[in-house]
Structure 1
């Protein structure tokens, strides 16, 4: 089969290595579809999404429809005559009007081992749930939320030190490798759809800042997973002396402390020890509101927490 005409749909940094791989492949990316520019930063300056930045650097036409069902956009998309539409973290569920446009298929690069963690934040939720592995699923798209047939899948271990940020980068790189492999298999007639299993379905809804509020009555292991899963956004936090404090670089031990949940137990091997409902939470780095992120030793030196002083879930 001759080289494929591709339209790529994606928006955030996760999609950038995947688009890069397609641009470097033997196939042709004829256009990129991405979300509209949005205000960002303190000055609320209109900022293009990362995928648009790369597309413009590589000289690829960019489409940014406000509405995916806009007739002008659909007409423009049809006029491109794509063989395949490749989607990676575009940000919206595609309607049938888009799914039926390509000659062959709409393919999605999803950052979980489907049917686990369907939805917007699979990387975060895999860590929060304490999973030992995750991966990339290359999926044939339908009108459901990540319900289409599986075309290709590869797993990846989650290390105890992984955060959503580090796992994001690993999965993005894996997705870039797998999508090129999938398109080559398609051209060879060897890409075989398989129905997703009906058992084991779980969901990964979009995260909100409030999801990061720590409840120290929960087990230390769960809190450590939550902190890692919300790093770098929206971050896990609690309060100390009325100020919001963000937590990073956690670990835990199972032995219980004879202390109330949230109580600061002191410093050990560079980690701040905090009592929880079950086990001890160990924190390597903290960030007090309005200040820079610092090591636990610096926090103890600067704030000198008193014996019995607590982190709380309220200001």
Structure 2
């Protein structure tokens, strides 16, 4: 995995509501307001900091308690912005006149939004001279919403990508400016795929801004007939139904790794599962039966084929390889997960 705070060596339209992209030809650096919160947004902010334009301000969500100790921690975007000496704003509400006037005073040419975490009001979207663009983690119009990366994995997609989009007041309904595609591997989890898409998003964002300044970024309307939605994940969705096929469960476990994770129970004790592999074979045991537990992993019968999990997390313990688990506890081979 590449570190999110890697320094890039190489430096590399949104249609305003009254001005077309084709009419915009910019030579001088843009003043940019960046709005984002989690690690997914960090590579794009770093790319802008390394590029020719001026990041005038960063807006992110408030600091929040993290981990078992509930220690209050800064969002990853704030950490990077402070390291770069960029002013950081963390408003309780982005819909107040006070916040609007604060952003207005920045006199930004463009706003860039990536996983900020709140819906922006129309007057804020229209405030920068060139409007507001977004980096979304799917190939729009597919997977609009809060969890596009996880939902793509859950649905067994073989390809995803990022879309640079002109923001409007809908949920990911704005015009498409620049898409970029990425294949999904059988080993990808939501964590690994998010990191790949974060870096792809940063590269695509720089290309989009370069083309915007050259007047070469025409917007394209989304095809509403192809639109799908990616709602937030619920913990209950991770409860495995072993009557499903191994292929379906393989997608679910990867999509829920690392959060909220896929799980099942034996004798009211919860086990979480990671690193699945489909093992073809005619299943003779009832779905959910723990058929084997050894150094290769645990093998469980499903509605079709078997599923081998190489990592496991028993309730009250840390995530570990199955070999380490069976050294410390006996797994009940022959019993059924429920």
In the alignment, structure 1 residue 272 sits paired with structure 2 residue 274: no
Q: In 2, Cα distance between the equivalents of 1:216 and 1:125?
A: 20
Other-structure match for 1:75: 101
Q: In 1, Cα distance between the equivalents of 2:270 and 2:229?
A: 29
In the alignment, structure 1 residue 171 sits paired with structure 2 residue 197: yes
In the alignment, structure 1 residue 27 sits paired with structure 2 residue 27: no
8 A Cα contact 1:109 1:136, kept in partner:
yes
In the alignment, structure 1 residue 143 sits paired with structure 2 residue 166: no
8 A Cα contact 1:69 1:97, kept in partner:
no
Other-structure match for 2:38: 12
Matches within 5 A, 1:81-120: 81-120=107-146
Helix, strand or coil: the match of 2:162?
Answer: strand
8 A Cα contact 1:213 1:238, kept in partner:
yes
Q: In 2, Cα distance between the equivalents of 1:47 and 1:305?
A: 38
Helix, strand or coil: the match of 2:324?
Answer: helix
Other-structure match for 1:199: 225
Q: In 2, Cα distance between the equivalents of 1:79 and 1:281?
A: 57
Where does structure 2 lack aligned partners over 5 or more consecutive residues?
1-26
The answer to which structure, 1 or 2, has the higher relative contact order (CA under 8 A, 6+ apart) is 2
Helix, strand or coil: the match of 1:199?
Answer: helix
In the alignment, structure 1 residue 283 sits paired with structure 2 residue 309: yes
Taking structure 1 as the reference length, the TM-score comes to: 0.95
Helix, strand or coil: the match of 1:18?
Answer: helix
Other-structure match for 1:245: 271
What's the RMSD between the two structures over aligned residues?
Answer: 1.4
Q: In 1, Cα distance between the equivalents of 2:334 and 2:46?
A: 53
Which of 71, 83, 86 is the equivalent residue of 1:45?
71
Q: In 1, Cα distance between the equivalents of 2:52 and 2:45?
A: 13
Where does structure 1 lack aligned partners over 5 or more consecutive residues?
none
Q: In 2, Cα distance between the equivalents of 1:56 and 1:153?
A: 30
Q: In 2, Cα distance between the equivalents of 1:307 and 1:51?
A: 46
Could you list the per-position Cα deviations for residues 218-261 of structure 1 after superposition, in whole angstroms to 9, with x for gaps in the alignment?
11111110100011111111113322111000011343311111
